[in-house]
Amino acid sequence: MIQSFGLLFVICNVQIGIGVFGFQRYIAREAGHDAWIAVLLAGMFCHFSGWLIVSVLRRYESADLYGIHQDLFGRWVGGGLSILMMLYYVIVTVTILRTYIEAVQSWIFPEFPTWLLAFVLLFLSWYAGISGLRVIVGVCFIGFFVMFAFSTLYYNPIQFAQWNRLLPIGEATPYQLFNGAVAMGFTLSGFEIVSFLYPYLNDKDKSQKYMQISLLLTNILYLFVILVTTIFFSQDQLLRTVWSSLNMLKIVKYPFLERIEVLAMGVWMFAVVPGIIILTWVISRGLRRLFNFPHKKVLIVFSIFIYVVTLVFHNREQIDMLNSLISKAALFISFVYPLFLYVTVAVVWWWRQHKPKKGEDELA
């Protein structure tokens, strides 16, 4: 069991991963220099969706999403939905892992073998995953402070900013802002992971509060990064830059340290690995619930499977295709499905409370 306070670290680590280094280009492509408004709008959707998720969980007290599926839709349909959810998290894990490896190969070691780095990252994830949820939260705690400590480095690009690049505010149409918020969906997704952690919370009554605080911290960080990026790059530069956040760090220099973006890319492993750990834990937890498979053995099997799938993707085009594919699924899983589930649970619970009992039918 863990305290609800731990949600701060887990959710932030799942939401803030490798995507923070290059999400700006996709938002600016849709909303232009009003991209920061689209990020703000996407953050509001996050808070609403997070409230829906915790509200559903509170009705069940100690059930996770796998148990809710079986209660609402039965053993077979509910089990099928849970398997689809696990398959989604497998693809998300592969996407995070392969994108980070590509970033390392682009910025630090171009000839570094993909198979070796994937093995190291998955071995670390497996080792932490078999140690229990408290260890996982502890790793997320380290990643949390790594992420927010490195965000202070963006003070340097602000010194060279051109603030007039934010003007005119509101030039993008509502349709463009909405498309920008949709493009932000995959970057902000992952907070629905609370659906699987909820049974392990000691103080469940505080889960909503810490859920919203963690989402607020994530949204503030992304809003800060997109604002700095907008006032640092011109629109043409931003649309041509793949790793915008890393490019801004090139100007950060100290007398005792240069090329700090290379250091950031290496240390950022402490922010990427916790996300992989928690996702693989959710997958193994689901297989244990549905098929009663041993947790440790399942974790090994799925780590090997994810490792093999990761090696299938070789170039930037394939990785972009993978990111585009999973971003559409993330929108549904993180924003559409919680609303559907909330309405379904409300209807089912109302029907159960108001349906006539067997004795009342016979009396009538």
pTM equals: 0.92
Give the range among 99-108, 239-248, 249-258, 292-301 with minimum mean pLDDT.
Answer: 249-258
Mean pLDDT of 219-245: 91
**pLDDT band with cut points at 50, 70 and 90 for residue 358:** low
Rounded CA-CA distance 37/169 in Å is 9
Structure confidence at residue 249 as a pLDDT band (50, 70, 90): confident
Domain count along the chain: 1
Query: Are 123 and 337 contacting, i.e. CB atoms less than 8 angstroms apart?
Result: no
Q: What is the mean pLDDT of residues 235-264?
A: 83
pLDDT exceeds 60 at position 248: yes
**135 or 314, which is more confident:** 135
Range of the domain at 119: 4-363
**CATH number of the domain where residue 134 is located:** 1.20.1740.10
Residue 302 pLDDT grade (very low, low, confident, very high; cuts 50, 70, 90): confident
Separation CA 79–CA 86 (nearest Å): 11
Instruction: Give the DSSP per-residue string, 183-204.
Output: HTHHHHTTGGGHHHHGGGBS-G
Rounded CA separation 241/28 (Å): 11
Q: What is the mean pLDDT of the chain?
A: 88
